[in-house]
Structure 1
Amino acid sequence: MDFNNLDHLYRQVIMDHYKTPRNRGAIEGGVTIDMNNPTCGDTIRLQLAIEDDIVQDAKFDGEGCSISMASASMMTQIVKGKTVEEALQLAEIFSEMVQGKDYDDEKFDLGDAEALSGVTKFPARIKCATLAWKALERGVEEGK
């Protein structure tokens, strides 16, 4: 697949998550994290249900650009059922990916979130892409 087709596919995946977000909503109980990106105004409320060191559920709500909301949707899908340690590793790998750093994509499957790898070309958008993941890191720490 050539670069233009891959870029188009990635844009479609991002827009799909933006227009039809997965795991949008609320969880009763659990950990609630509110974060915002003051640079562009994106906001997120992430809720995590962590039990026996496993992310049992993850939901979000918020407002923002297509990148931040799609990233939140993707992240909540990826971390469900993962251990806290695995979720934190995925957050670190995602951050490295959007900053253009090498990461082991054989060991860590970011699923649809790999569509956000192109954000590295737009440094101002990295904070949009990582907002939900930073909320995850904070939520996991508070949930311990």
Structure 2
Amino acid sequence: MDLNTLYRAVIMDHYKNPKNKGLKKTDPYHLVHLTNPSCGDDMRVEVWIKDGIVQDVRQEGKGCSICLSSASVMSELLKGKTKEEAEHLIQQFYKMVKGEEVEDEVELGEAIAYAGVRDFPARIKCATLAWKCVEKAMDEEKDHE
């Protein structure tokens, strides 16, 4: 099995069996809603940060397989990370999908499956929408004690 086939399998698995799907709609979660008007993706992400640690990430949306599967992968990757680690991973993901060099691909885990998005510039917004929700939530979020 070549890498592209493996990456497609990861993307389709997270699309068909999304992790952390469904919103809690309560404190201490911080909700951010963003859309991608160019293709119709619509994403809502909730983030719970306590004591500087990402406790949970929930996601729910409508859109293409790239958008929805990326949200699932992201929600798994960021849980348990410090806010700083999560911010670093988000920036590394952005670099990767734009075709820029990343510091350590291994730290991106299954998110590495989206490396091929760099060859389809119109899909970069699809892959990054949920990540932008988390980034915005962390910018707005105040730790809940």
Query: Considering the TM-score relative to the shorter chain, is it more than 0.5?
Result: yes
1:133 alignment partner, one of 131, 135, 140 = 131
**CA RMSD after TM alignment:** 1.1
Cα displacement string for residues 14-57 of structure 1 (whole angstroms, at most 9, x for unaligned residues): 00000000000112221000000011000111001111111100
Displacement of 1:105 in angstroms is 1.4
Displacement of 1:141 in angstroms is 0.8
Displacement of 1:127 in angstroms is 0.4
Equivalent residue for 2:34?
35
TM-score norm. by structure 2 comes to 0.93
Write out the 4+ residue segments of structure 1 that deviate beyond 3 Å after TM superposition: none
State the aligned residue count.
Answer: 140
In 2, the alpha carbon distance for the partners of 1:138 and 1:34 equals: 10
Letter in 2 for 1:10: Y
In 1, the alpha carbon distance for the partners of 2:141 and 2:78 equals: 14
In 1, the alpha carbon distance for the partners of 2:130 and 2:7 equals: 19
Structure 1 unmatched ranges of 5 or more: none
TM-score norm. by structure 1 comes to 0.94
2:106 matches 1:102? no
Equivalent residue for 1:122?
120
The secondary structure found in structure 2 opposite 1:102 is coil
In 1, the alpha carbon distance for the partners of 2:102 and 2:64 equals: 26
In 1, the alpha carbon distance for the partners of 2:119 and 2:37 equals: 21
Q: Work out the percentage of aligned pairs sharing the same amino acid.
A: 51
In 1, the alpha carbon distance for the partners of 2:104 and 2:84 equals: 17
Correspondence list, 1:1-144, <5 A: 5-27=2-24, 28-29=26-27, 30-105=29-104, 109-144=107-142
In 2, the alpha carbon distance for the partners of 1:45 and 1:104 equals: 29
In 2, the alpha carbon distance for the partners of 1:17 and 1:111 equals: 13
Displacement of 1:81 in angstroms is 0.6
In 1, the alpha carbon distance for the partners of 2:66 and 2:104 equals: 21
In 1, the alpha carbon distance for the partners of 2:134 and 2:89 equals: 10
